[in-house]
Structure 1
Amino acid sequence: MPEPFKNLLGPQVAAAMASHLQRAGAETGAAFNAKRFRSLALSGLEALEMKARAQHLCTALEKTLPSDFDSAATVMEGALASMGEIDDATLDSPSGARDDGLAGWAVWPLTEYVARHGKDKAPRALQALHAMTQRFTAEWAIRPFILAEPALSFDTLQRWSTDASPHVRRLVSEGSRPRLPWGMVLKPLVDDPSPTLPLLRRLMDDASPYVRRSVANHLNDIAKDHPYLIEAWLQEHLPTATPARLALLRHASRTLVKKGHAGVLKAFGVGDRFKGEASVALSSRRATVGDSLQLALTLQSTARKPQRLAIDYAVHHVKANGDTSPKVFKGWVVELAAGERREFRKQHSLRPITTRVYYPGPHRIEVLVNGAAVAEAGFELRT
């Protein structure tokens, strides 16, 4: 059984934080009581889930760091590891540290401290987040500043959009996403995303795939509330798209493609309704959670010319109250020749995952071609 994700903020992280913060306090002339921090940090930690652990460790920092924010920020900056790539080994380390300082998940409580206590000293707080995001991410911590000090924050983000560090450039996009997972919703940007658009234009062709993926996710956030803005974005940026930009724009449009948004599908050349016949069959009419089902789809074109098709499928999952809710899964993007008959197969897993709870009952699979339903099949799910 894999180690619970929450243990990435476990006792070893608390010990590493205590050690490096004590060292940094001594180097900067600021007292830090490592023994008290460990006692506060470990008290009740095991019973908490991931995000609550970060907040709990931050509360321990509040009772042990210097009361002056600038001094506290200086100690935390001094406890950070040297600059370097944030690789999987760092993020997965149960100690939350490298030999020379804190990096990875251990930095999350530090960013939380800045978010809680830096609001009255926003320029100094943003300086601290600039350092911290290069060892983990400050995407959640920067959001209160965007709401409280929008002019300062966007001036800073504009400057950071050309920073030498890809981690800082990613923060420009990720930290200002309207609907960031685990982060507070930025309601003003949900209503009007225009302040972030110049930043996204600047970062859209960034050299780092890490940055470009964030831009795609940011645009996908915007698509949920302003689909026609994304349609206009595609019309502007698709004609001169490099392969890297094209991949970004496809990822940015995934929600609207799954919903069959006509303008977005048309922008990618797959907006026309499928001309032909479709049928889908499942490998079994009954399944148990943990099984896999094979989908066998057959398309028969009746068109006189080739058709470019985006083929997805929606699984209508049963919810706790007995209703169903569709989840769309990616299939294929193909060109079907005039009169061509083609078969497609896909293995669909019913294994439990953290983001989906399966309930027993009749489930339905619906095939979508260019956003329109063309065939369906059903199965009974047992737990």
Structure 2
Amino acid sequence: MPFADELLGAPAVKALAACLTVAGQRCTATKRSAKVFDGMALKERSDLVRDALLEDLPDEYGEFVAAINALVTQPECSGWMVWPITEAVAARAAGAGSAKAFDTGLGLLRKLTPRLTAEFALRTMLLADLDRTLAAARRWTTAKDEHVRRLASEGTRHYLPWARRVPGLLTRPDATLPIIDALYRDPSDYVRRSVANHLNDLSRQHPDLVVDTATRWLAEPDANTDRLVRHALRTLIKRGDANALALLGFAAPTGVSVVELRVDDTVSVGEKLGISATLLNSSDEPVKVVVDYSVGFRKANGTVAHKVFKLAAKTVGPGERVDIAKTHSFAPITTRRYYPGGHELAVQVNGLRMGLVSFELLE
């Protein structure tokens, strides 16, 4: 992922200041904000520029709205400078103290979202008035602009990455179902992917609700529904959830076994671990299988925690042996720290663990 200064750095703030000038607004605080960016993460930068914008833009709400509308008319007002603009809109609208001002703020977010996204700012609105914001999101599901329809789904996700949690959503897991029900057959892949991720979020705590929803969708599908549901059920499949597996046609793998599982004895950080496995179907019927592997990563305290990764999905014929090969990268990543020492790797077939081997991770 690009660094924060490549997304919301001094050039973006300079361009935002230019847009403010064209809109007839002050830009003193906004220009000043970029001078203290050093060491700040992306969200911290956005919050800093948001506060600067609120200082520069008019205090009177009607004048503030007019200024934002003047920004929106400029083609140059786009990209990462839009994130703090949407946050400023949400902060002012949520704190205005009237339903009319709140709805006007939602309308401004709708206008701004095609320029980048307003999904993070929408969290402020959800926290301030959950039902009013959800009602607006339901209306957005019929918008002509795919960015607005995506905002309806993405902005109301229960575990939206980088975003604040909304307790009201977590305690009412079915509150957003009318939104994603309206969008699962959307013509835009951009929107459908958000819907799949939205439903996958729910699987963390509510697997039965997710499977029930996916079952309804598969009963009234279009050409893209099967793919969307598979993506939405990915977490449950990795967990070996029997209902999710059955919905996708993966029954208990009777007669299928892992007769060989091999990995490299050692792998160094920055290298790739070689993995190979052989499946045998000793039954008289073909068996549809989804095969995953889980890596048992060594933690700082010496314990091992497994994370599941996709390997293959196949139909294994009667008496057939199937060889599967894969490499797993141990390249450094920001979301995981590697600790040298003994690690594990296991294979799962339709959610059932069928093999476990050990290997050594070297520095």
TM-score category (smaller protein)? over 0.9
Aligned partner of 2:232 in structure 1 is 252
Report how far residue 59 of structure 1 moved. 1.6
Note the 1:177-256 alignment, pairs <5 A.
177-256=157-236
Q: Distance in 2 between matches of 1:316 and 1:161?
A: 42
Change (3 A) 1:52 1:340: same
Secondary structure of 1:300's partner? strand
C-alpha deviations, 1:257-308, integer Å up to 9, x for none? 00000011001110213423312101x2111111001111001111111100
Of the structure 1 ranges 58-67 and 220-229, higher mean CA displacement relative to structure 2 is found in: 58-67
Q: Distance in 2 between matches of 1:357 and 1:74?
A: 48
Q: Does 1:104 align with 2:103?
A: no
Matched-pair contact (CA < 8 Å) for 2:159–2:201: yes
Secondary structure of 1:79's partner? helix
Aligned partner of 1:90 in structure 2 is none
Of the structure 1 ranges 253-262 and 110-119, higher mean CA displacement relative to structure 2 is found in: 110-119
Matched-pair contact (CA < 8 Å) for 1:263–1:271: no
Q: Distance in 2 between matches of 1:362 and 1:81?
A: 58
Secondary structure of 2:102's partner? helix
Matched-pair contact (CA < 8 Å) for 1:367–1:375: yes
Note the 1:83-232 alignment, pairs <5 A.
100-119=75-94, 120=96, 121-232=101-212
Note the 1:325-336 alignment, pairs <5 A.
325-336=305-316
Aligned partner of 1:281 in structure 2 is 262
Q: Distance in 2 between matches of 1:54 and 1:263?
A: 42
Among 289, 293, 313, the residue aligned to 2:273: 293
Report how far residue 380 of structure 1 moved. 0.8
Change (3 A) 1:146 1:35: closer
C-alpha deviations, 1:331-379, integer Å up to 9, x for none? 1111001111111101111111222221112111110000010012211
Aligned partner of 1:318 in structure 2 is 298
- Amino acid corresponding to residue 14 of structure 1 in structure 2: V
Report how far residue 326 of structure 1 moved. 1.3
Q: Distance in 1 between matches of 2:325 and 2:262?
A: 10
Secondary structure of 1:269's partner? coil
Aligned partner of 1:34 in structure 2 is 27
Of the structure 1 ranges 266-275 and 156-165, higher mean CA displacement relative to structure 2 is found in: 266-275
Secondary structure of 2:353's partner? strand
Report how far residue 250 of structure 1 moved. 0.5
Matched-pair contact (CA < 8 Å) for 2:130–2:168: no
Report how far residue 3 of structure 1 moved. 5.6
Change (3 A) 1:6 1:246: farther
- Amino acid corresponding to residue 33 of structure 1 in structure 2: R
Q: Distance in 2 between matches of 1:145 and 1:301?
A: 54
Q: Distance in 1 between matches of 2:60 and 2:34?
A: 25
- Amino acid corresponding to residue 261 of structure 2 in structure 1: V
Aligned partner of 2:62 in structure 1 is 70
Secondary structure of 2:270's partner? coil
Q: Distance in 2 between matches of 1:55 and 1:338?
A: 60
Matched-pair contact (CA < 8 Å) for 1:190–1:225: no
The two structures, once aligned, show a CA RMSD in angstroms of 1.6
Report how far residue 62 of structure 1 moved. 2.0
Secondary structure of 2:127's partner? helix
Among 342, 359, 362, the residue aligned to 1:362: 342
Among 41, 53, 63, the residue aligned to 1:49: 41
Of the structure 1 ranges 250-259 and 142-151, higher mean CA displacement relative to structure 2 is found in: 142-151
Matched-pair contact (CA < 8 Å) for 1:366–1:375: yes
Secondary structure of 1:102's partner? coil
Aligned partner of 1:21 in structure 2 is 20
Report how far residue 148 of structure 1 moved. 2.2
Report how far residue 236 of structure 1 moved. 1.9
- Amino acid corresponding to residue 50 of structure 2 in structure 1: C
Matched-pair contact (CA < 8 Å) for 1:319–1:325: yes
Gaps of 5+ in 1: 27-31, 83-99
Q: Distance in 2 between matches of 1:325 and 1:5?
A: 30
Aligned partner of 1:7 in structure 2 is 6
Q: How many residues align?
A: 357
Q: Distance in 1 between matches of 2:62 and 2:337?
A: 45
Q: Which runs of 4+ in 1 moved over 3 A?
A: none
TM-score by length of 2: 0.94
Change (3 A) 1:243 1:330: farther
Q: Distance in 2 between matches of 1:79 and 1:198?
A: 33
Matched-pair contact (CA < 8 Å) for 1:274–1:370: no
C-alpha deviations, 1:185-233, integer Å up to 9, x for none? 1222222222211111110000100000000000001111110011212
Q: Distance in 1 between matches of 2:17 and 2:179?
A: 37
Of the structure 1 ranges 345-354 and 164-173, higher mean CA displacement relative to structure 2 is found in: 345-354
Q: Distance in 2 between matches of 1:353 and 1:243?
A: 36
Report how far residue 117 of structure 1 moved. 1.8
